[in-house]
Every structure is written in C-alpha cells, then in structure tokens.
Structure 1
C-alpha cells in the first residue's frame, strides 16, 4: 500500500512538471510580445475614465501627491504675438501722457525730418522757450514713413510709426495736391482715434514754434480750440478763419462725434482740404446740435506769419503759415528763433517795454492786400 501511494505521488509530480514548464514558456513569450508591441506602437492619450477608475481603486494618497497627480500639464509658452499698430499707439500714448491724459502731437514724413530740416528747428524751439523744455516729455512724434520714424528714434523719446494701407506719405506733398489731401484727412482720422482712447491732445504742425506752454491759456469751456490765420477778436465768432495746424481737443463724446462728422464730410466735399471743410461745417445746425464748444484762439498768443503776435511777453506759439515752400519756411522759422533768443537774453525791464518785433516774414513775404479778400486766403 505504501509503495502504491508513493507511486501515485510520483506520477502526479511528474505530470505537473510536464505541464508547468510549457505554460511558463508560453507566458514568457506572451509577455515579451506584449512589451514589444507597447514599445513599438504610437502613444495614445490615456482615457480619463480609466485614470479615474484606477485612482479610485488605489489606496489613499497624501494631499501633496494628489495635487501633483491632478496638476495641469506644463505648457511651454510660444513666441509672443507681434505688436499691432493699435497696441503700439496705446503704449506710446500712455508713456507720453500728462497726469490728466493730455499729449502733445506732431506728424511728419521723411521730407520734413532730415537733419537740418524743420524737425530740428521745431525741437529747438522747445529747448529755448520759456518753460517749454519739460513739454518734450509729453510730445509724440507721429512718423508717416520709415525714414521719418528712424530719424525720430534718433532724436526723440516718444515716436509712433503710422501707416495707412495703400498710401505712401514719403516725399514732399505739395499743398492741395491729391497726395497732400490724403495725408491731411488721414491725420484727422488718426486724431479721432486718439480721442476715442481717452486722451486729450494738443496737435501742432512741425512748422509751429513753441515759446511758452499754451496749456494754461486754453479756454476752460472749449471742447475743440483752434488757431487762426485771421482772428476777429471774439473766440466764439464762427467767422474767424481757423488754421488746423495748431489745435487742442478734449476727449469727450462731443469732440469724438464732431471729429467723426468732420471726417465723414469729406464724401460731400471731394478734393477739398479738411480745413476748408471745417470752415463749411462749423456753421451747420448738426454741429450746433452736437453741443461741441468750438473756440478760436487769439493770434495775440497763437500767432503766425499770416497774423503775427504783437507781444513777446504773451506769445505762446508762432506758425509759418501763409507760406508755401520748405526752404522759405525754414528761413523764417530760424529768424523767429533768433528773434526769441534776443528777447530772452535782454534785461527784464526791456522785455516788459514791448519794444520787440518779429523780423518775419522775410522769405515768406505776403503780397499787398493779402487779407483784403478772405476767400482768396490760403489755408495752410
């Protein structure tokens, strides 16, 4: 009996060995193929439902580990998007604005910005003016072509490159030519955009000399204030002849609507200077209904070659208006600077005496009877 039982155990043991060895071999082969398949197959996102099922059946983990398990994947930042023209404008305006969101602005192209040209004279007037050098911190030069922008960056802090698709503003733009009109109307629409962004502005042509800070002398009740070729003595008189080369606008709904209407009026008056369109619409009922307060600036403080300021102790700006031709303008602008230097270097008692007078116009001489017929006055 004992030998029979022993035989049975040995037989069972022998049978187990016969089956276990092949099964182990098959298992090893299957595992190898599985690992090979995973190593060579493209990776696929693991379903979130599977992840949650596994996590729910797993033993609890510490809070720190749980936070790490569900943390957002690290995202590598891509290259920043290029700065748009509007983004650049926002940045430049913010950097140049005063505490009450006012900026001083001028515009120029390559023809007006070359070394020794009008831009240099313009900036010099700020440096030698009475308390005007600090205003350069709030001046934005709007360059309408690449060369003007490069020149601005070389001489000034706040520069903005303004481009209008399909228009080339480089080179000399002769007064009242189609190219000149396109540039003036584009400038007007650009200033509307500045108002919409919440900034007040003082716009000055680059051929305006700054001898005193004009901000304290603007009318407190004026939304839009503009210099004159011919001032009739009353700042509310719509018969004054404005010159859009120097103006001040407060940012509010009235001025924004006014600038929109002014620009839209170009369609009614094709091939007409934006300044002459202003001379038409200022009388319209629609402008009165807007409630915009228009004020005309006295030539006593805001003069020009058309009508010079008579008092050096009051003058804020002088404009080379009523003058066509870059060389003529530069000659008379330099003469203005010389006149101002003589005034500023004289003893204080002589300055009060009002014995100083401008030596201009020299190159920009006006023909006899220039103001006898208003309709013939050029609007520069």
Structure 2
C-alpha cells in the first residue's frame, strides 16, 4: 500500500509535466543523440513488424516465457568476430548448448543479419526495429556504448510489453555454465555490477554484461522512467548503465517498488576483475575493460580455449587457472 501511495503522485502531475516537456524537447532538441533516435520514442513497430517479432520470440521462449537476447552490428558479426566466439562458448559450455534454442540475436544492420543467419537459427532482421536502427552506430570498436544502451533499452521495453522475461547478454560474454540459478524469478532485476570505484559509496559504473529482467508492470514502468531520465540528461554517461542508474536513483527505485537482486561478480565475472580463478565458479565472463575489437576477440578466444582445456582436466586435478587476457589488460594482469 505504501508503494502504491508513493507511485500515485508520480504518475499524475509529474508524468503530465514530463510529457509536455518531452514534446518540447522533441521539437527543439539539438543534442548529441541522433534525431531519428529521439523521435523513435513516440513510435512503435507496425503490425507486420510486431507479428514477425512475436513469431521469433514464440520459437525461442522457454516454458516460463523467458528469452535470451543479444544485439550485434556489422563490426561484431563477421567472419572471425565477436559473434563467432559468443556462439562457440554455448557449444563448449557446461550444459549451455541447449540455450542456443532460446537465444534471439538482433541484427542492427543488414550485413550483420546476413552473417547471423549463416550461424544461428534465430536472428531478428533490423527492419523489425528499423525505428531504432535507422541511423548506423558502427565503429571499429563495436557499437557506441551510449547509443547502443539507448537502443537496447527501447528493445527491452518492447519485450516487457509483449510479456517476455528477458535475459539480456552482451555478445562479448562467454557462457561457461548455466546462469539461471543466480536469477531471482520474483525480483524485477538480477544483475552483477562491477564496482571499479568505491563499493560503499555505491559507485557501480559497469553492468556485468548479462542481466535478467522480469516482465511485469513494475519493470515496465521503471524502464519508461529511465527513458525519460535519458531524455532529460542525454549527456550523462551514468544513465547508460543499469547499475549506475539504480545506485544513483534509490528513491525512485523504492517509489516504483523495483526490486534488484545483486549477483556477485564471482559468478558473472569479467576481465576488469582480473581473477585468474574464474574458471572454477563463473557462469559467464565478460570482455570488459577492453575497447579495441581485435584485442577483445583475441582474448575471448584465448579464455575460451583455456575453458575447453579446463573441462578436459576436470576429471584430473581440475586446478587449471585462466590465462591472462594480456592484449586487453597488458602485463598487469595478476
């Protein structure tokens, strides 16, 4: 009852004010985000596009209406690319190959789609989200993080609207074991936050490369709020991160009743953690702290090779450690 009492005033005068303000921004805005992206907030897919999307989601959905989702552009989906290593990790993981049946890959441009369908059965054509992907954001290091997060969040809102729980995974994540046991099916969000700063002060700057979002009204309303915040503060890098948004907006998290399950980075690890023992416990490993795309692919392949060798040695000592992702982190990995 208290949460409802808090929510009511937020959804009347405040939302009315924000709608008026958004209309003003849409007319006058000249900021860093592409104009096509801004106008897309008020657009929705056509009936045909929605039907095509629903058909794919029905094929990949688990019995509880959970889907696994990732997004790639041309730079991440080509021979010898991130997408290659990503899909290979499912095939070599411990009990993860079955998840390929539940994975939908959203291609952000036609070339990415052409390559995706040569590797995977469930690829979503960019025309399905043309209202988000009309402007290319490709770079030599992969999708620009700010624009990518903006478009990803719009896609997530559509998944929630369609009633699908979503496990969103970056494509530069290795799936070594099933992550399902770490997700709380009751809470709206399960996420690992890499705190590269002060944990006690809530300095969560990086999402762990994978998170679970529950499809319910609370999650839907909170993501809509996040979208409004991004309009009001388009240049704030913190708002590109779910972890940073949650840490810095605790009052709104409480007001919406948005429950968060924080998962230890032991289980959703990454290059930033510099933990050589991750092969023993990690479900996923994210190639964060690595901007150069060539280095990222190299080190992901190297870690995947270590994982394959580790699985072969499990019947023996099982004490093999993960080699250093030295191209991404240099020789400082300890």
Corresponding residue to 2:184 among 203, 214, 219: 219
Whether the 8 Å contact between 1:262 and 1:281 is mirrored in structure 2 is no
Aligned to 2:10: none
Aligned to 2:96: 132
Distance 1:245 1:224 in 2: 14
Q: CA RMSD in A?
A: 2.8
Give 1:83 shift.
6.9
**Mapping 1:279-318, distance limit 5 Å:** 279-284=244-249, 285-308=251-274, 310-318=277-285
Residue 83 and residue 157 in structure 1: after superposition, are their counterparts in 2 closer, same or farther (change >3 A)?
farther
Question: Normalized against structure 1, the TM-score is what?
Answer: 0.68
Aligned to 1:184: 149
User: Which fold has the larger relative contact order, with Cα–Cα distance below 8 Å and residues 6 or more apart in sequence?
Assistant: 2
Give 1:239 shift.
4.6
Give 1:221 shift.
4.5
Whether the 8 Å contact between 2:170 and 2:210 is mirrored in structure 1 is yes
In the comparison of the two structures, how many residue pairs are matched? 282
Question: Normalized against structure 2, the TM-score is what?
Answer: 0.76
Please state if 1:204 is matched with 2:142.
no
Structure 1: gaps spanning 5 or more residues = 1-81, 370-380
Equivalent position SS for 1:130: coil
Residue 104 and residue 297 in structure 1: after superposition, are their counterparts in 2 closer, same or farther (change >3 A)?
same
Aligned to 2:124: 160
Residue 120 and residue 176 in structure 1: after superposition, are their counterparts in 2 closer, same or farther (change >3 A)?
closer
Distance 1:277 1:249 in 2: 11
Aligned to 1:15: none
Structure 2: gaps spanning 5 or more residues = 1-45
Equivalent position SS for 2:329: coil
Distance 1:287 1:129 in 2: 35
Whether the 8 Å contact between 2:68 and 2:167 is mirrored in structure 1 is yes
Question: Residues 133-184 of structure 1, C-alpha deviation per residue, up to 9 Å, x if partnerless?
Answer: 111000000001111111111111111123334733363265896xx52232
Please state if 1:325 is matched with 2:292.
yes
Equivalent position SS for 2:67: strand
Aligned to 1:67: none
Which structure shows the bigger proportion of residues in helix conformation?
Answer: 2
